[in-house]
Structure 1
Amino acid sequence: MKTMQKYLLLVLFLIPIGMFAQNQVKGTVTEKATGTPLPGASVVVKGTTNGTQTDFDGNYIINANTGDILVFSYVGFKTIELSVNTNVINVSLEDDLNKLDEVVVIGYGSTTVRDATGSVTAVTSEDFNQGNMVTAENLLNGRTAGVTVNTSGAPGSGSTIRIRGGASLSANNSPLIVIDGLPITNDTAGGSRSILASINPNDIESFSILKDASASAIYGSRASNGVIIITTKKGKSSLRVNYDVTTGYNTVADRIDVFSADEFRNQINQRQPLIANELGSANTDWQDEIFETQFSVNHSISASGSLFGAIPARLSVGYNRQPGTLKTSNFERATYSLALNPSLFDEHLRINLNANYSREDNRFAGAGNIGAALRFDPTQPVLDPSNPFGGFFQYIDGNGNRRANAPTNPVANLLQVRNFGNVDRFYGRAEFDYKLHFFPDMRAVVQLGYDKSNGEGTNITDPISINGFNANTGIGDPQQNNNSAFESIRENTQLNAYLVYNKEVGNLGLEITGGYDYQKFVRSDFGTNNLNAFNPTEPDNAEAIDVVLASFFGRANFDIANKYLLTLTYRRDGSSRFTDDFRWGNFPAAAFAWKINEEGFLKDSQTVSNLKLRLGWGITGQQDINAGSLVNAFQSTLGLSSNVAQYVFGVTPIVTALPNYRNPLLKWEETTQYNAGIDFGLFDQRLSGSIDVFRKESKDLLVNSPVADGANFSNSGAQNIGKLSSEGIELTVEGDVVRNDNFNWNLSFNTTFLNREIDQLPLGADINVGGRAGGTGGTIQVWREGENPSSFFVYKQLYDTAGEPIEGAFQDLDGNGIINASDRYIKGNADAFATMGLRSTNTYKNFDFSFTLRASLGNEVYNNVSSANAYYSLLNGNGFPSNVPTTVTTTNFINQNSQIINSDIYVEDGSFLKMDNINLGYTFNELANTEASLRVWTGVQNVFIISDYSGLDPEIPSGNGIDGAIYPRPRTFLLGANLSF
């Protein structure tokens, strides 16, 4: 009887369990626009912690009761809630146009725009600049407040990138660039155009730009100039193939004005009649002769899908050929990229693997020939078949030899010199992200990175151009040459490991990250000036340098009630560039954000969709000055004497070893930054933007500065001196002017107001900087306390009653009756007071139209082309007719001297408005009744420039504001197609 009672009680106990037993619900989550499965989408029973994620094919399985609400979400897509009334629920998620949910990659992790506490900007592939983008950084030029990108017209050339103006005087002012978690160095291998020239822009998914110290301090010693994080495209489980092709017709948009052949003859006959007999009968435009139109092409094909049905993968191949508009200049690049993104153990272990190989082939054209073409006699022909120096016109005497001090034919200089360089680069990374089975709130992450470049090249001058035709051999003497060869290696190895603890307790969300980072850079260079004897294992000269960085870092993120966000960051860095006493630096940061729109008085607002206040503070460092000198600066080292500083015993010169400069007190540059910002969104984010106010204070600046005689083994070397501050305001606004089913018009605008100032220099003394061409040595800029570091230091030009400049007449500013260096004053600087960017994007049904404008206001440019060349006396160049810029007619200056070349008449307003690109496209959808699509487009790059500057282009690639005959940026007419299936 008791046994029967026990069985009855057990049955009664199990009845309610059976009544509430859960069903197993399954299905697939896809992207509505393309039908592509979405791996990693979140599926959660609303109001519970019961949840899962979709697998590689977008499939999920979850236990849920009938009537439960399932919440389906994925970053960048609108969240959907569905009630459970069947065992199979398939969901298609729509793109979420709300950019608040965009993922922003930060150091050792990620966040969303909505939850970011620092000044962080995400630029995704949808926002990239369109056109013939050869190098990665040009994808974001003008797209982000506080970021400037100045690029030369040379094919594949690097850029001067500045975030908030930089934070140093003579140390590195470029931002740290991180590719898929691997920080790279700006030190390129010989033969390469730039550190980003080997990367295919089509492989890039997004940029994250960390601008203030609270965002970038996690990178510590290398983050004073901001951080740009490049994220490449990853593998996906669904099969997708994309093919992009772009062709371009590159032309030289403008030239520097010099006298035509007939105008030049008149000038010579009038002003230099003694050399009129040297004039020829030709009519040659030497700029036309050194420049040429070129066709460029860029191919990129990628395929993504599942390997073996389980491993999401992406493979891409790219080829770019970009001939320069300067004759013989050429850039070619082939890239190969593979990404594998498997996940194991029920999504507990996520693995990200990527491997990239590139081959960069360059032919470098001597940019000095641009200046030579301005000066060469336009009455002489390009070719002279009777000339023994290769059939080009050259000045020769009656014996067939070159005439002393004669200029050389710039076209011959280009065609008779073969300067080649090629670089093989491999870079890759492996990341293992493991969510602990026994402690799911904790993740362990290990990352391995490797980057190696092998560069080699030769610089060969045709012997006939040096020694002329030899009747015995038919060529010039090959033993008499100045040929050279080199081999260059850059190697970068990284290991980091960290733990991430993520937990929600009531209204408190907590994420704590802590770990260790090790990185080693190796630089090796070999070279010779004798090609026949070149042996990389026993070179004429060699240099090998290792730099090691070791770091401990931590970050804590607190989210209180989804309203108040606090981020605390700390990094301790050690560098082999400093002694034990100064090797380690500490870099803390803190940031606070308040989501005001989550407060009760705004939570249900139909007007304000986002309002967030951000406050940030942090300290970052700088240890990158000249790599070679700084590595050895604290060590006792010896250097071999040069061939002009040797002892001679009898007739034998003896090479001596001399002590090098040494400074064991060198330490980190340190920058403290303050930032306050407001993010806002109105009308369901139809209008959004941000305002940031910032201030940066740098101290212990790393500067190569003079030292007192006898105080060291050199008269100058690396020292920690001076203070520099920067402050500014950034504004970004984006809005949909029109948004409906057929027509959309989006405008985005950004502007930055910036001021930089030197606060302290050693003994308060000026330091002259900014080397310029012309005259004997000399500088045109000055570092002075209280002034901008790119300030122009000039004499004040005097004018007559008619407003014409008086040659050699300057204002005696100190009133001592003598015009000397004490009368130079500061007239403007190379920094723009304000920079602006505007992008307009229109779509009408299947048509799309876009353009990008940039403006720079208040920057000055020193016209070194005119200051070095625009004088009537220079029509006689060492007894040979030489052309000059036509700007000489505005000054009528006769002779150049050390004062005139520093006249403020050559400092001009460099403000400009540029249209960088304009594009029109049409998309054919559902080709052949499939998901395939084809977009065809056309456009123009470098469309126009509006400026009062008298020179070629006021946007100087180096950013220093000194225009010395730059390589002109081409105007490119484009035609392209994008096929996806």
Structure 2
Amino acid sequence: MNRLLVFIMTVCFCFSNLIRAHAQQNTITGTVKNGASGDALAGVNVLVKGTQSGTQTDDKGEFSIKVKNENTTLVFSYVGYKSQEVKVGNQNVINVNLELEVAILDQVVVVGYGTQKSKDLTAPVVTIKNEEITKQPVSNALNALQGKVAGVMISTDGKPGGAPTMLIRGVGSVRGAVSPLYIVDEVFMDDVSSISPSDIESVTILKDASSCAIYGVRAANGVVIITTKKGTKNRPAKVSYNGYVGVQSITNKMPLVGSKQYVQLINEKMYSAFLRDTSKGTYSPFDPANYPTSTNWYDELLRNGFMQNHDLSVTGGSEKSAYYFGVGLFTQDGLVKKNDYTRFSLRGSHDITINKYVKTGYSLTLSTWQENAPADVLTRIHIIPPVFAPKDAQGNFTNPLESGFGIFANPSAVIEYNNSLNKNIRGLMNLYLEVKPIRNLTLKTSFTPDFKTTNSSIYVPKYWVSSAQYDTVAHLTKESNYNLNYVWDNTATYETRIEEHRIKAMVGFSAVHNSGELLRAVGTGVPDFTDATHYIDLGDKTGYSVVNYPYDKISALSYFGRVQYSFKERYLATATLRRDGSSKFPSDSRWGTFPSVGLGWIISDESFMKKVRGIDFLKARASWGKLGNDKIPQNAYTLTANTDARYSAIFGPYGSNVVSPGANITTAVQPRLKWEIVEESDAGVEAAFLRSRLNVTADYYHRLTRNAIFDVTLIGSSGASGTVLDNNADILNQGFEFTASWADNISNKFSYRIGANLTTINNRVQKLKNGTLPINDGDVVNGNLATYTQQGHPIGEFWVYQVDGIFQNFNDVHAYKNDKGVEYMPNAVPGDFKYKDINGDGVIDRKDRVTVGSYIPKITYGFNIGINYNSFDLSADFQGVAGNKIYNKKRANRFGNESYDADFYNHSWHGEGTSNTYPNADISGGLNAYPNTFFVESGSYFRIRNIQLGYTMPNALTKKIGIERLRFFVTSQNPFTYFKYNGVSPEITGGTATTMGIDNGVYPLSRTTTFGVNVNF
């Protein structure tokens, strides 16, 4: 009985507690609206603070949620709006009005060795988030930035895994590299191709000397800071998958001539050559009927390419730790046959808060990638005659020499017999320890090693196609290349507020080390190339050689400091100082000091602005700074002796002919070489209008490179040969940058955004050192140089003869005379270029060359749109450049009976009266080969960069299958590019500042269509 009573009382007690607990759970209802328009907001997250328990508002903006007691706090959050917290108390109905978030004020951006709110910035700094980067199917994240940032010009390389050329505010260096400094998780890098775009959280671009000064010597061309993803504290594990598959196809395929047109042009070429010198024999044309084969080498050598990308990640955290782990696979088939690229990456990070004083963590990125490099066929496509097939009826490669048109290699055999494989491994780690010994003071040390190994193999088997294309023994060339780089940073940051004064000061020092080694071996007689046989020792034991190339070991130590000051949250100042030393300069100029300062004024916070309607934010800022550049060869100032010299009958008896060893000096150096200094000023305005729907930024920049370092040719009387490296010029880049965006929510179902940017660039050599001759560079054909860098003009400007028409007959040739009756071009034949006597001296020579622009555009621009309607989203990006030039070297680079493009055939001179703009088929014969205005074409283009359509499944459906978010999308990249240039692409990557924009065959543009999915569990 007692047991029964106890049992009944226990059941009653538990039941009463259950009723009491249930009774204590209050149901809270309410509506969430746009505070400005009053429209209901659907999809607003309503969470119980400190938990993952919550709900979302419905289509009417209404919600219902159960809470335990009156001490509960609800958190309302929605993209594009400021989050709001409301304590429940004794309320049963809670209505909330969310305010639009002013992104320009609250966005936290990465600056050197720290972060800042956009509101407090005194320099032009731009951040691109992961969402914008991953919208485009690219292997290199920098390609996704094309057209998105004012002041940044990016030329893409269509090759799989290829690195784009990136210029920030023009070109300021002649001899040194023109690319910016890339910093990935505090590691200095020259290339970020190994980083998967999906692992990137944000990309921040520091554009002016003030913002870059904290990085000193390596930041002269700007800085790109890449921050990879990390975990989030107090968040349960979240699994995400992002992937896509797609197909690439060539766009803007350049039509080439067929066999009939080719034979006609070759006959015309031969006839023109015969007229130039009739003493060489008779003119014997080819019969087109003997060449029935017509091969389109684009179709034979190129293909459509498959690409895919898969990324899987896990992120989360507890109260004292946060973690992120990800794995990615990217593969891409190049447009050129046998050109494939594969990258596998692992990424992890873990941040641990030991206590309120100590925090530590690490991040690790490990990438391995391999590529079958394309054979040299892109240039050959344009020059190989179409009169022979790749293979004969028996399947053997055709001998091009049998066609009788000259010495050519069969490009299909080039692809078949040249096997090139590069295997790479790169490891990047960041270890840090952060200590807060006292209030407001943070000490941080971080160590970031970066290693890379590359193993490459080039194998050519024993084969025979023709007497000009064969290998009598199999050759295998192998290279092993490693590079080790590490950075050790140490900083102390103190932040305090004294009434209306806010101060943040940081000091630190950084140690950098870089070293590496290259080992190359060449062997012969190696068996057929497979993974099991590509070893040199399997070949001829006596037919190999080994060469070891040690790299320069570079170590540097730098000291830096920065103070950020704010008064009344509207008067801003930033001052930076960095002290850098470089062993690349002589001891008396080895150290450089680089200061900068930035000022800002938030005008909209002034009392006189409170009554001004429509202006939500208005800030004026100005900055100035200096940067050093040491991107020159090691020991460039050290004079070396030639120890191979031999002296006869000098140290021995007279007439003995004794040869004695010795040394002499045959080169020259500048022992007083100084730093190349970039000095830049910037003035800008940032504003937000109409409830922050309209955001505008405008900047003027003046970027002057003083004492630019480059080679100058030595005069013969100096006793030395070659060139000498010296400080020879001042180079100016100046212009304006404009950025504007508009975003609005029309209703809870429909929102849209529009953005645009435009940059003007004026690049010129401000001053040349006394005695320094202009730089003539850019070999285009037969040793002719096409670029000229001189005072008052852009770097690498094209310098050519002015074409003034085409000679129609010999009467035209003989009638073209100077004032003294002397023929200008007596050796010309009908169909040749007629060059203009620019200076009027009666002679056509290099003094008559004219400057016609450079590859540096005068204007770059981009704009984008985005639309969200219910569960659908649509975005599109557009970009372009204007005012730049390209030299069409592939048309001019002719040494025999190379082929032609169809445009040339359709417009070239075929006889008297047929053309006064295009020459005869002997396009490189006689004076036609001289660099001239015909070969310089417009590089302007307009492109639809990317279009993406997405669909996100409603939450009600995804929750039923245990998925947090599910989105499908289809993307079209580069669906259309408009340009007038006679080539496959108006983007010419590579080259130095004085050789940019010369096209001798570039990787063609491709159109990419992909289908993908984003899943969060």
What TM-score bracket applies, with the shorter chain setting the length? 0.7 to 0.9
Paired with 2:640 and 2:78, the residues of 1 have a C-alpha distance of 58
Residue type matched to 2:245 in 1?
T
Cα distance, 1:467–1:729 mapped onto 2, change above 3 Å: same
Cα distance, 1:948–1:884 mapped onto 2, change above 3 Å: closer
Identity percentage over the alignment?
Answer: 25
Paired with 1:77 and 1:745, the residues of 2 have a C-alpha distance of 15
Cα distance, 1:503–1:290 mapped onto 2, change above 3 Å: same
**How far apart are residue 430 of structure 1 and its match?**
1.3
Report the equivalent of 1:293: 304
Report the equivalent of 1:505: 498
Cα distance, 1:268–1:685 mapped onto 2, change above 3 Å: same
- Does the Cα contact within 8 Å between 1:329 and 1:364 map onto a contact in 2? yes
Report the equivalent of 1:909: 938
Residue type matched to 2:178 in 1?
N
Superposition pairs for residues 74-93 of structure 1, below 5 Å? 78=82, 80=84, 82=86
- Residue in structure 1 matching 2:341, options 319, 324, 331: 331
The yes-or-no answer on 1:207 pairing with 2:198 is: no
Report the equivalent of 1:946: 978
Cα distance, 1:277–1:82 mapped onto 2, change above 3 Å: closer
Superposition pairs for residues 578-657 of structure 1, below 5 Å? 578-603=585-610, 605-625=612-632, 630-637=633-640
Paired with 1:794 and 1:321, the residues of 2 have a C-alpha distance of 43
The yes-or-no answer on 1:423 pairing with 2:432 is: no
Report the equivalent of 1:191: none
Residue type matched to 1:378 in 2?
P
Report the equivalent of 2:920: 893
**How far apart are residue 75 of structure 1 and its match?**
13
Superposition pairs for residues 483-522 of structure 1, below 5 Å? 483-522=476-515
**How far apart are residue 278 of structure 1 and its match?**
10
Paired with 1:468 and 1:855, the residues of 2 have a C-alpha distance of 47
Cα distance, 1:35–1:972 mapped onto 2, change above 3 Å: farther
The yes-or-no answer on 1:361 pairing with 2:357 is: no
Paired with 2:79 and 2:115, the residues of 1 have a C-alpha distance of 12
Cα distance, 1:251–1:655 mapped onto 2, change above 3 Å: farther
Which stretch of the first structure deviates more once superposed, 216-225 or 840-849?
Answer: 216-225
Paired with 2:511 and 2:46, the residues of 1 have a C-alpha distance of 42
Report the equivalent of 2:784: 778
Cα distance, 1:700–1:765 mapped onto 2, change above 3 Å: closer
- Does the Cα contact within 8 Å between 1:327 and 1:365 map onto a contact in 2? yes
Which stretch of the first structure deviates more once superposed, 691-700 or 259-268?
Answer: 259-268
Cα distance, 1:465–1:592 mapped onto 2, change above 3 Å: farther
Report the equivalent of 2:913: none
- Aligned with 1:829: secondary structure? coil
Report the equivalent of 1:246: 244
- Does the Cα contact within 8 Å between 1:374 and 1:885 map onto a contact in 2? no
- Does the Cα contact within 8 Å between 1:107 and 1:181 map onto a contact in 2? no
**How far apart are residue 778 of structure 1 and its match?**
1.9
- Aligned with 1:287: secondary structure? helix
Residue type matched to 2:363 in 1?
N
- Aligned with 1:199: secondary structure? coil
- Does the Cα contact within 8 Å between 1:77 and 1:96 map onto a contact in 2? yes
Cα distance, 1:886–1:855 mapped onto 2, change above 3 Å: closer
- Aligned with 1:407: secondary structure? coil
The yes-or-no answer on 1:345 pairing with 2:355 is: yes
- Does the Cα contact within 8 Å between 1:265 and 1:279 map onto a contact in 2? no
Paired with 1:654 and 1:374, the residues of 2 have a C-alpha distance of 51
Which stretch of the first structure deviates more once superposed, 688-697 or 73-82?
Answer: 73-82
- Aligned with 1:258: secondary structure? coil
**How far apart are residue 519 of structure 1 and its match?**
0.6
Report the equivalent of 2:869: 844
The yes-or-no answer on 1:372 pairing with 2:380 is: yes
Paired with 2:667 and 2:807, the residues of 1 have a C-alpha distance of 57
In the TM superposition, what whole-angstrom CA distance separates every residue of 1:709-754 from its partner, at most 9, and x where no partner exists?
Answer: 4657542132211110111100000112554311111001000011
The yes-or-no answer on 1:978 pairing with 2:1014 is: yes
The yes-or-no answer on 1:178 pairing with 2:178 is: no
Cα distance, 1:784–1:764 mapped onto 2, change above 3 Å: farther
In the TM superposition, what whole-angstrom CA distance separates every residue of 1:483-516 from its partner, at most 9, and x where no partner exists?
Answer: 4221111211111111101010010001110011
Report the equivalent of 1:664: 671
Report the equivalent of 1:754: 761
How many residues align? The count is 875
Which stretch of the first structure deviates more once superposed, 504-513 or 905-914?
Answer: 905-914
- Does the Cα contact within 8 Å between 1:279 and 1:380 map onto a contact in 2? no
The yes-or-no answer on 1:810 pairing with 2:835 is: yes
Cα distance, 1:233–1:906 mapped onto 2, change above 3 Å: same
Paired with 2:613 and 2:950, the residues of 1 have a C-alpha distance of 36
Residue type matched to 2:137 in 1?
N
- Residue in structure 2 matching 1:114, options 108, 111, 119: 119
- Residue in structure 1 matching 2:145, options 137, 140, 164: 140
Cα distance, 1:508–1:956 mapped onto 2, change above 3 Å: same
The yes-or-no answer on 1:256 pairing with 2:254 is: yes
- Does the Cα contact within 8 Å between 2:347 and 2:365 map onto a contact in 1? yes
- Does the Cα contact within 8 Å between 2:81 and 2:101 map onto a contact in 1? yes
Paired with 2:48 and 2:262, the residues of 1 have a C-alpha distance of 68
Cα distance, 1:931–1:323 mapped onto 2, change above 3 Å: closer
- Does the Cα contact within 8 Å between 2:187 and 2:487 map onto a contact in 1? yes
Cα distance, 1:416–1:733 mapped onto 2, change above 3 Å: same
- Aligned with 1:501: secondary structure? strand
- Does the Cα contact within 8 Å between 1:268 and 1:276 map onto a contact in 2? no
- Does the Cα contact within 8 Å between 1:416 and 1:465 map onto a contact in 2? no
Paired with 1:263 and 1:170, the residues of 2 have a C-alpha distance of 44
Aligned-residue Cα RMSD (Å) equals 3.6
- Aligned with 2:634: secondary structure? helix
Report the equivalent of 1:821: 846
**How far apart are residue 666 of structure 1 and its match?**
2.1
Paired with 2:50 and 2:79, the residues of 1 have a C-alpha distance of 10
In the TM superposition, what whole-angstrom CA distance separates every residue of 1:676-731 from its partner, at most 9, and x where no partner exists?
Answer: 00000002210002000010111111112223446575421322111101111000
Paired with 1:802 and 1:76, the residues of 2 have a C-alpha distance of 68
Report the equivalent of 1:789: 795
Report the equivalent of 2:965: 933
In the TM superposition, what whole-angstrom CA distance separates every residue of 1:18-64 from its partner, at most 9, and x where no partner exists?
Answer: xxxxxxxxxxxxx964969889xxxxxxxxxxxxxxxxxxxxxxxxx
**How far apart are residue 545 of structure 1 and its match?**
1.0
Cα distance, 1:461–1:260 mapped onto 2, change above 3 Å: same
**How far apart are residue 580 of structure 1 and its match?**
1.9
Paired with 1:300 and 1:711, the residues of 2 have a C-alpha distance of 61
- Residue in structure 2 matching 1:698, options 683, 705, 718: 705
**How far apart are residue 403 of structure 1 and its match?**
9.4
Residue type matched to 1:892 in 2?
P
The yes-or-no answer on 1:447 pairing with 2:446 is: yes
In the TM superposition, what whole-angstrom CA distance separates every residue of 1:363-384 from its partner, at most 9, and x where no partner exists?
Answer: 1112x41221222221211112
Cα distance, 1:147–1:263 mapped onto 2, change above 3 Å: same
Residue type matched to 2:989 in 1?
P
**How far apart are residue 948 of structure 1 and its match?**
2.5
Superposition pairs for residues 856-867 of structure 1, below 5 Å? 856-867=881-892
Report the equivalent of 2:292: 281
Paired with 1:524 and 1:313, the residues of 2 have a C-alpha distance of 35
Paired with 1:476 and 1:598, the residues of 2 have a C-alpha distance of 77
Larger Cα-atom Rg: 2
**How far apart are residue 575 of structure 1 and its match?**
1.2
Query: For structure 2, which runs of at least 5 residues remain unmatched after alignment?
Result: 1-42, 52-69, 271-283, 527-534, 538-543, 646-655, 813-829, 909-917
In the TM superposition, what whole-angstrom CA distance separates every residue of 1:270-292 from its partner, at most 9, and x where no partner exists?
Answer: 66554448954322111111110
Paired with 1:750 and 1:261, the residues of 2 have a C-alpha distance of 47
In the TM superposition, what whole-angstrom CA distance separates every residue of 1:840-888 from its partner, at most 9, and x where no partner exists?
Answer: 111101101111111212112222222335xxxx7x63xxx74555415
- Aligned with 1:373: secondary structure? helix
- Aligned with 2:413: secondary structure? helix
The yes-or-no answer on 1:406 pairing with 2:433 is: no
- Aligned with 2:847: secondary structure? helix
Paired with 2:211 and 2:673, the residues of 1 have a C-alpha distance of 27
**How far apart are residue 662 of structure 1 and its match?**
3.9
The yes-or-no answer on 1:165 pairing with 2:170 is: yes
